[in-house]
A = this chain, B = another copy of it.
Amino acid sequence: MGKGRLEAFSDGVLAIIITIMVLEMKVPHGDSLAALRPVIPVFFSYILSFLYVSIYWNNHHHLLQTVKQVSGQILWANLHLLFWVSLFPFVTGWLGENHFSFVPTLMYGLVLLMAGLAYRLLSIAIISAHGPDSLLAQAIGRDKKGLWSIILYFLAIPLAFVHHWLSLAIYVLVALLWLIPDKRVEKVLTE
Closest Cβ–Cβ distance, residue A68 to chain B (whole Å): 15
Assembly CA distance A16 to B20 (angstroms): 8
The answer to whether A13 and B13 touch across the interface, beta carbons within 8 angstroms, is: no
Q: Mark the stretch among A93-101, A120-128, A147-155, A166-174 that contacts chain B.
A: A93-101
Q: What is the copy number of this chain in the assembly?
A: 4
Partner of A20, one of B20, B82, B83, B101: B20
Quick one: CB contact mask for A44-72 with B, threshold 8 Å, 1 for yes? 00010010001001100100010000001
Assembly CA distance A164 to B98 (angstroms): 34
A22/B98 contact (C-beta < 8 A), A54-B79, A75-B58 known: no
The answer to whether A23 and B23 touch across the interface, beta carbons within 8 angstroms, is: yes
